[in-house]
Amino acid sequence: MDRVCNQFVPFPHARSRLVTEAADSVFKGIIGSYGRIKNAPVFIAFIGDMDDPFVQEEVGYTGEGIILAATALGLNTCWVGGFFRAEIAASLAEVSDKERVLAITPVGYAQESESWEERLMTGFSRSHKRVALSKLVRGLPRDKWPNRVGVSLEAARLAPSAANRQPWGFDVQDDGITVFVRTLGPQFNVSKRLDCGIAMLHLEVAALDSGCKGEWEFLPSPQVAKFRIRS
C-alpha cells in the first residue's frame, strides 16, 4: 500500500500518505455509519494543497483509487471525513503549511461481528442504500447515450459518500459526461466536491474497463468536471 500511495498520484496537488505509527490515536470512538474503529494498525491520510481550486475533487478521486487498490488486495478500509483528529493526522502525515488532511482511512482486517450497540448507532441499512439512476441523470435521453455510458453511470452511482448523501448528478452529452453537485444542504465537515471526485474515479474505471478512454476537464461550481470521451 505504501508503494500504491507513492505511485498513484494523478494530480500534482493531491497525495496519499501511509502512516504506520499511532494509528489508533486519530480515530474518535464510534464514528458513524461504520461503527467503531479500534486497533487499526495503519492509516492512510488523503492530503490536498489548498491553493488548488479543484483540490477537493482531486483528493476524492485519488483517495478512491487507493481505497479500491486496498480492497483488491483483500484489505478493509473506510473513508473517514469528519470523526478524526485532524491535527494529530496532519502531524503524523507530515503535511506542509499549504496542505490539509481532508480525510483518512484505517487499513486492516475488519472484525466480522458487529454489536447491537453499533447497529443502532449507525442505522445500518439506511446508510448503505443508493439513489436510483433516473434521479441523478439529465441531458440526452437514455436511447441516445453514447456507447457504454450506462455502465459508467452505474459505477458512479454506487460510489460511497460522506453520510451517504450522494450529492452527484450526471449530465450526459454526445461527447461525454459532466459531473455536477446536485443537492443543496449542509457540507458537514466534508466537501461535496470530494464525494464527486470519488464518483469520477468510479465512472472512469468503469469506462476504461469497457474500452472507453477519456480526459477530465475541471469546471467551476456547481459543475465539477467533464469526462470527455476520446473518439
Ligand X SMILES: Cc1cc2nc3c(=O)[nH]c(=O)nc-3n(C[C@H](O)[C@H](O)[C@H](O)COP(=O)(O)O)c2cc1C
Which of 4, 18, 33, 69 is the binder for ligand X (CB under 6 A)?
Answer: 33
Which residues, other chains included, contact 10 with Cβ-Cβ below 8 Å and sequence gap of 6+?
A: 58, 61, 62, 65
Instruction: Give the per-residue contact string, 171-200, with ligand X (x = CB under 6 A; - = no).
Output: -------------------x---xx--x--
Interatomic CA distance for residues 46 and 66, integer angstroms: 9
Give a three-class secondary structure readout of 134-171.
HHCEEECCHHHCCCCHHHHHHHHHCCCCHHHCCCEEEE
Which of 45, 93, 103, 196 is the binder for ligand X (CB under 6 A)?
Answer: 103
* Residue 124 contacts ligand X per CB under 6 A: no
Report, in Å, the least distance between residue 41 CB and ligand X.
19
* Residue 161 contacts ligand X per CB under 6 A: yes
Task: Tell me if 196 sits within 8 A of 186, measured CB to CB.
Answer: no
Which of 38, 119, 128, 213 is the binder for ligand X (CB under 6 A)?
Answer: 128
Side-chain half-sphere CA neighbours of 120 within 13 A: 3
* Residue 153 contacts ligand X per CB under 6 A: no
Binding site for ligand X (CB under 6 A): 31-34, 78-83, 103, 127-128, 160-164, 190, 194-195, 198
